[in-house]
């Protein structure tokens, strides 16, 4: 899909491989992965400032 003078690509992830070194309780730990994303121009994104927020259980939410 063309958007101005850029190309946008959409896709579906069908498989992801993660080293066991970054798993905590069977889930990838974002702090251990330390991903880097390309934003545009010379800009890159990181996951600094991660906060852990407890999720509300559905049973408690609908009460």
Q: Confirm whether 22 is domain-assigned.
A: no
pLDDT band at 2 (very low <50, low <70, confident <90, very high): low
pLDDT at 50: 76
Q: Confirm whether 62 is domain-assigned.
A: yes
Q: Confirm whether 16 is domain-assigned.
A: no
List, for residues 22-57, the tens digit of each pLDDT value: 999 999 998 899 888 888 888 999 888 777 888 888
pLDDT at 63: 64
Nearest to 35 by CA among 54, 53, 51, 22: 22
Q: Confirm whether 24 is domain-assigned.
A: no
pLDDT band at 12 (very low <50, low <70, confident <90, very high): very high
Q: Confirm whether 42 is domain-assigned.
A: yes
Q: Confirm whether 52 is domain-assigned.
A: yes
Q: Confirm whether 9 is domain-assigned.
A: no
Which structure tokens are listed for 48? 């600094």
User: How many structural domains comprise the chain?
Assistant: 1
Domain around 50: 35-63
Q: Calculate mean pLDDT across residues 17-23.
A: 93
């Amino acid at each position: 899909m063309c958007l101005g003078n850029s190309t946008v690509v959409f896709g579906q992830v069908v498989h992801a491989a993660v080293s066991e070194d970054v798993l905590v309780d069977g889930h990838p730990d974002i702090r251990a992965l330390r991903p880097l994303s390309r934003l545009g121009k010379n800009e890159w994104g990181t996951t600094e400032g991660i906060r852990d927020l407890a999720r509300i259980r559905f049973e408690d939410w609908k009460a």
